[in-house]
Structure 1
Amino acid sequence: MADTTQAARILLLEDDTPLRERFAHIINGWPGGELVAACATLEEALAVLNRQPVDLLMTDLNLPDGHGIEAIRLLRRLYPDADAMVISVLADDETVLNAIEAGAVGYLLKDADSIELVEAIESLRAGHSPISSSIARILVRRMSAPAASQPGPELTPRETEILRGIAKGFTYTELAEWLNISRQTVPVHIKNIYRKLAANNRSEAVYEASKRGLIRL
């Protein structure tokens, strides 16, 4: 889980100048964050990621020299504990699912105002997965569709319960209280879940489990 006791180092990737400046202004006015760079191209953002650690990547998807998913994938490789949040006008099923599979744990549309944006960042840093309502409908529709069970390691009943809690956006502390278990055991169960589902984050785990028919939301 992200350390929320210090300012989050944020990398912003947005090619539209007015939007980039607006988002940068919002981040700079938020005491919980530190904007390390505001990039207009994928090349600039990849250079920043290779040069210094960040805690949060906020990225558009369609860029003049590539796709924001490339930045998300590099972030996941270099800084596994960091978070990625998409801010885009794109909301088709394939784009949303590809971004989540790459490692995005938040997905907002560009009509988000300053209050909603800060609340989304704070929610994400607290261990939740903030998404716009239209994006949530895409995920619910995909997860509710009939899916044939695919082979793979079976989850224990406890792991299945924890996975249901993850899908609801519960934090480690909330999971421990909900299941009446020690908070220290929650990361152990989650690590096992990720290993069995070949997932890197909670969004991937929920998506993969739904595809395999292990959970239904």
Structure 2
Amino acid sequence: MQEPVADGPITVLVVEDDALTRRTLSLAIEKEPSLKLLDALSDVKSALSWLEQQTVELLLVDLGLPDGSGIDIIRYCAHRYPACNIMVITTSSDQDNVLDSIEAGASGYVLKDADRLDIVRALLDLHAGGSPISPTIARKVLGRVRDGKKAPDAVNDAAAAEQVALTKRESTILDLIARGDSYGEVARQLSLSVGTIQTHIKNIYDKLSVHSRGEAVYEANRRGLLQMDQLKSKR
């Protein structure tokens, strides 16, 4: 596991309605010195109320909550706290749920059958700039991306792509983060500093009018800016 950062552990908010799962996640987070659990909540209402008053660095949220969808929490948190990294933990591998979560602002998507230590590692990876996603979900998303260029949307996507002018460097970085590489990995591959990569990422976000890695990948795919053949060749 990673050592705590110099300015203190990474703060985490958990939103999960199942009491046993919530307790298991809380204990795993509390045992990791790099993380600090701020609260563990069980519904949309309490989560939105909490986020109105406090900020957090990592949000771990279920989708199926008793009073609504976790996507509402994701959307609110991403809008209010753009720097917060959001990860979904759920039993659902439905493509629509996955893509709706990404569009709302989530950058990670892990199924509940993952080991609790794997979930802690995923949280640390997310904070470090990664995009942790369960293999089952990754296959579904990649399949949707490959099949997503449907005829009815082709004209609109082509027009949207023309309105976004990414530099060659930005396009390369976008492809790498879409593949799931962390900022550190991208920096090493391109022989650049992490700070320079973050500057490019900010420019990409501005051009695509998004606030998170997940949104950037989703929007870039919608606009036809991702080249799946190039992504596969880099694996």
Q: Distance in 2 between matches of 1:206 and 1:185?
A: 19
Q: Where is the helix percentage greater, Structure 1 or Structure 2?
A: 2
- What is aligned with 1:101? 103
Q: Distance in 2 between matches of 1:211 and 1:205?
A: 10
Pick the aligned partner of 1:150 from 150, 158, 162: 158
For structure 1, the 5+ residue unaligned runs are none
CA deviation after TM superposition for structure 1 residue 80, in Å: 1.1
CA deviation after TM superposition for structure 1 residue 176, in Å: 2.7
Pick the aligned partner of 1:191 from 185, 199, 202: 202
Q: Distance in 2 between matches of 1:182 and 1:11?
A: 30
- What is aligned with 1:125? 127
Q: Distance in 2 between matches of 1:19 and 1:173?
A: 32
With 102-111 and 26-35 compared, the bigger mean Cα shift is at 26-35
Q: Distance in 1 between matches of 2:173 and 2:123?
A: 23
- What is aligned with 2:219? 208
Q: In the alignment, residue 179 of structure 1 is paired with which amino acid?
A: L
CA deviation after TM superposition for structure 1 residue 198, in Å: 2.0
Asked if residue 91 in structure 1 is aligned to residue 93 in structure 2, the reply is yes
- What is aligned with 1:173? 184
Residue pair 2:107, 2:213 contacting (<8 A) in 1 also: yes
Alignment deviations for residues 99-157 of structure 1 (CA, whole Å, 9 cap, x no partner): 00001111111111122111111111111010111110111011112522432212121
CA deviation after TM superposition for structure 1 residue 169, in Å: 2.6
Q: Distance in 2 between matches of 1:62 and 1:68?
A: 6
Residue pair 1:55, 1:81 contacting (<8 A) in 2 also: yes
Identical amino acids, percent of aligned pairs: 43
Q: In the alignment, residue 190 of structure 1 is paired with which amino acid?
A: I
Pick the aligned partner of 1:82 from 81, 84, 107: 84
Q: Distance in 2 between matches of 1:86 and 1:109?
A: 8
Q: In the alignment, residue 200 of structure 1 is paired with which amino acid?
A: H
For structure 2, the 5+ residue unaligned runs are 229-235
- What is aligned with 2:62? 60
Residue pair 2:177, 2:213 contacting (<8 A) in 1 also: yes
Query: What is the TM-score when the length of structure 1 is the normalising length?
Result: 0.92
Runs of 4+ in 1 over 4 A off after TM superposition: none
What count of residue pairs does the alignment treat as equivalent? 215
Q: CA RMSD in A?
A: 1.7
Cα separation, partners in 2 of 1:139 and 1:74, compared to 1, 3 Å: same
Q: In the alignment, residue 132 of structure 1 is paired with which amino acid?
A: S
CA deviation after TM superposition for structure 1 residue 168, in Å: 2.3
CA deviation after TM superposition for structure 1 residue 26, in Å: 1.0
CA deviation after TM superposition for structure 1 residue 77, in Å: 2.1
